[in-house]
Amino acid sequence: MADSAAQFDTDIQKGILRLIAHGDWRARSVGPIDSRLRDFSDDSVGRDLVIDMTGIERLDTTGAMLLQRTFFACDSRTSASKIVGATDPQRALMEQIQHHLAPCHIAPYHGNAFVVVLERLGQAVANTYYSALELMSFIGAVLATFWKVVRQPSHFRWTSTVHHMEEAGLDAIPIVGLMSFLIGAVVAFMGAKILSLFNADIFTVELVGISVLREFGVLLSAILIAGRSGSAFTAQIGSMKIREEIDAMRVLGLDPMEVLVLPRVIALVVMLPIIAFIAAFLGVVGGALVAASAMDISIALFVARFEETIILNHFWAGMIKAPFFAFVIAVIGCFQGMEVEGSAESLGQRTTLSVVQALFLVIVIDAFFAMFYLEIDF
């Protein structure tokens, strides 16, 4: 079917304006004549207009809307104005459309751009303040629930806790271990390159040992767990919130803090030190392998030097941080999950926010520990 174009001609007979429409007046074909039609109706406001539809082959709501719009724009409200030549179905359509010509709102009015920027800034500041308060109160609730469970150990959810230990902890070990191994190797390579300039290759052992034990092992574990398990906590709890499962729990007399939050927090607080330990071990192994293969430091020499120079403090300095990181990651993951409201977009936003906040706080806490260790000479 060859689409013929929508067309119209105008003339004046006995002082009455005539618009003779012909062709295909459908949505797909009226686009090109819209502006001409508008000009026409702008020029002839308040005049008598006869619209002749005899030549119209096809008509749909859009075509009918254009004709009616033109008609009403010009209409002089005398009997001389009329629409002629329409078939019965066309007339019915025209009559129907006549009631639907009012314009509608397209987008909400946002106001002055400068004001909007200020408003957003203010809102962001206020939101930060309130969400910090809410997070504090959530932490309080977690601790209170923990205390309750300590006093009444029968309330402790073993199954759930062990499940999360496996899912959030055990399953993460291969990827965390691999990453830490590679980082240990990379640090050793860097050390080999620079330290050999000073003929101090052997200090690679200290470089790898101290950096991996104090920082990299635990920090990398925390970062990976925040991205992997913290976000999973938010997604799990958030989707339960959307499906009203949390509400169902509350009316059944189950405390979501006790059933959902506490097992996750405890699971992560138990598992992250273990993961960090494995990560630190594999990081040192990575460093030792590079030292053996790329430099003249045999494994035996590496181990001997390691025993001699790396005091246990370095190890503890790293490990002490692990439960703190774990607590922050788990609490923020659960908190953001509980904050999810209604829609899937909210779930996505909260999941992103959970990872960003957890990473930020992990780094902040790490910095505090570094300063603290410096002060106490640890």
Residue type, position 175, single letter? I
Note the helical H segments in 55-112: 61-74, 88-98
Burial of 100 (0-12, 13-18, 19+ CB in 10 A): exposed
Cβ at position 353, least distance to other proteins in Å: 18
> DSSP code of 26?
S
Choosing from 12, 54, 57, 100, the residue that interacts with other proteins (CB under 8 A) is: 100
Count, residues near other proteins per rule CB under 8 A: 32
Cβ at position 102, least distance to other proteins in Å: 6
For 375, how many CA atoms within 13 A lie in the half-sphere containing its CB? 6
The reply on whether position 69 binds other proteins by CB under 8 A is: yes
Is residue 24 helix, strand or coil?
strand
Burial of 369 (0-12, 13-18, 19+ CB in 10 A): buried
Contact (CB, 8 A) for 70 and 103: no
Cβ at position 70, least distance to other proteins in Å: 11
Cβ at position 236, least distance to other proteins in Å: 23
Residue with tokens 């101090």: 200
Choosing from 13, 14, 88, 108, the residue that interacts with other proteins (CB under 8 A) is: 108
What is the distance between the terminal CA atoms of the chain, rounded to a whole angstrom?
Answer: 86
Task: For residues 65 and 68, give the distance between their C-alpha atoms in angstroms, rounded to a whole number.
Answer: 5
Binding mask 197-236 for other proteins (x = CB under 8 A): ----------------------------------------
The reply on whether position 116 binds other proteins by CB under 8 A is: no
Q: Which one, 108 or 253, has the nearer CB to other proteins?
A: 108
Residue with tokens 């990560």: 279
Cβ at position 245, least distance to other proteins in Å: 20
Cβ at position 331, least distance to other proteins in Å: 29
Restricting to residues 2-61, which ones interact with other proteins according to CB under 8 A? 26-28, 30-31, 34, 38, 60-61
Q: Which one, 15 or 108, has the nearer CB to other proteins?
A: 108
Element (H, E) at 55: strand 49-59
Binding site for other proteins (CB under 8 A): 1, 26-28, 30-31, 34, 38, 60-62, 65, 69, 89, 92-93, 96-97, 99-109, 342-343, 345
